Structure 1
């Protein structure tokens, strides 16, 4: 099944907010870098499908910027969940969904996959993305889109992670944390 706006989550905490995707009744796929000592998962809430829930548990996938947030209770009214797909080839069209820029509804950012990378690291060296993909988005991915689903052919292949913004100037190049088959297998066991 494709991702619908009802699947896209807004995760809010003391450090701000990020995006995510409801992939099971109480499971939200998101980025790991949002959750810090200043914004622990225990102090965050998740708004998805017209429901607000607290996060009860967070599972990070080591070496990636991918995390799975487990909610305190299942989200009612959602019967189907998005599918995962393979990483596409360069130059194919992608879609990123997220709440960047203070949006109150999920925004769509169309892009083109430029290339895959074995590794990407944030400017502050705190976020590791492995494996990664570079995407050029129009409109540009912005802060708050992190954790949102990145799609090819309606299926999730990655999670929005970083933006390239030297000296505060967003160049429109986004780094995606690729959801590998091994992670999909682990997510399937956790759903």
Structure 2
């Protein structure tokens, strides 16, 4: 463009749909059906997913209480202040005292602290995902990966391949645009 001011506004206008459909503001699963296809065209979606997987994926957020106990001197641990108020926090999250969100199979063999942590996380998952979802809490997957519906670490590779293809397509389009401008000029 000949006018730098127009070029500045055009660059922002081109990036805005990519940001809107990239998963930052609205999750893909919550978008209306007719708008979900735009998410697949957004390079921001792939960059966002790759960033989440590289930060929270590859089993970095697994909770292993047994491993923690075996590596730490328990007698030296002081219970943090917030842990003393955990039952109060849980009763605030679930004022009726209804324990239906704690799956009996999942809590077998857990001590009281593990049950409290499980209830806290499962209640948080219900609040984040909505009460009617079929998602269940698992210590094997981080809450962030579960929230963004990222099913596995393979999505990192898919996102990287999509970004490379996107880069190649943009380079080819740029080449033909510059070639066209040089032929005119």
TM-score after normalising by structure 2: 0.25
Structure in which a larger fraction of residues adopt helix: 2
Structure in which a larger fraction of residues adopt strand: 1
TM-score after normalising by structure 1: 0.25
